[in-house]
Structure 1
Amino acid sequence: MKEKESLNEFLNRLSELVNQMKSHGDTIDDCRIVDKTLISLIENFDPMVAIIEETKDLSTMTVQGLIGSLRSFEQRLLRRIEKSIERVFQSKLNLENKSSTKK
């Protein structure tokens, strides 16, 4: 996964790669895809990767189950980023209002 790449972009690339491998006759089970996906994620996903590795049986985890967990985690990360940005804009607006009332 690339640093600025969204999870969907990464998953689309991964899906294309798996499909190419299968079209060439390779058999790839979910366990291998799950392992490779977890290894390939960027650092932002490390907390979720640790939770999955500690609480799930990776040998029975489906790719779809993994994708669902990762998408939920990404949405949570994005909400936190949006809230942080909102706070910065609100602080800036408050500072501008205070400075304009002093003039």
Structure 2
Amino acid sequence: MKDNESISKYFTRILTIVNQIKRLGDKIEEIRFIKKILRSLSSKFEHVVVAIEESKDFNNLTIDEFGEANQNSLWYLDSSANNHMSGKRELFATLDESQQGEVTFGDSIKRPMKGKRTIGITLKNREQQYISNVYYVPNLTSNILSLGQLLEKGYNIRTKELELSICN
């Protein structure tokens, strides 16, 4: 994994290689590639590796399920986003679909917002927390946490060297 590479780009790159190998007729044990991906992630993702290793039954996990689970658990911190957003409908146990509107991104592209609700996330220490007022934006490929919205709710945000911490 390259130092400046995101997990999703790295996973896409590895999946492309796996698919090329499969097209050549090679029989591949998917568990072998999943373990290689986990071993090759940089140390800054160690907490993600531990969480995946402890929560997944590797013997029954396909590479597609691994990628999907990985994408659902990633949240990007965005200082320019006004609201928390996710395009993953399955993250919302219930959804208030009476809350509809439009979201405008920094590049002026507009996307429909099809609902709003509180969702649960698992923290690095495996503690369950909830994020309220998360917009459901269909087809949004990343989960976004708004730093501004966290500050409004009273969270403290600290940066030191290459680490950002959020405390309530």
Do the aligned partners of residues 19 and 65 (structure 1) sit closer, same or farther apart at CA in structure 2, a change above 3 Å counting? closer
Partner of 1:57: 57
Residues 35-78 of structure 1, C-alpha deviations (whole Å, 9 max, x = no match): 11211222232112101212322111122222122223332xx2
| Matched length | 83
Q: Please list every run of at least 4 consecutive aligned residues from structure 1 whose deviation after the TM superposition is greater than 6 angstroms.
A: none
Structure 2 partner of 1:71: 71
Compare relative contact order (CA 8 Å, sep 6+) and give the higher one, 1 or 2: 1
The runs of 5 or more residues in structure 1 that have no matched partner are 88-103
Structure 2: which amino acid aligns with 1:67? Answer: G
Q: Relative to 1, partners in 2 of residues 1:65 and 1:19: Cα closer, same or farther, differing over 3 Å?
A: closer
More helix by share: 1
CA distance in 1, matches of 2:25, 2:62: 21
Segments of 5+ residues of structure 2 without an aligned counterpart are 80-146, 152-168
Could you tell me the percent identity over the aligned residues? 30
Change (3 A) 1:73 1:2: farther
Larger radius of gyration: 1
Q: Displacement, 1:28?
A: 1.0
Find the counterpart in structure 1 of residue 42 from structure 2. Answer: 42
Partner in structure 2 of residue 21 of structure 1: 21
More strand by share: 2
Q: What is the SS of the residue equivalent to 1:52?
A: helix
Q: If the length of structure 1 is used for normalisation, what is the TM-score?
A: 0.64
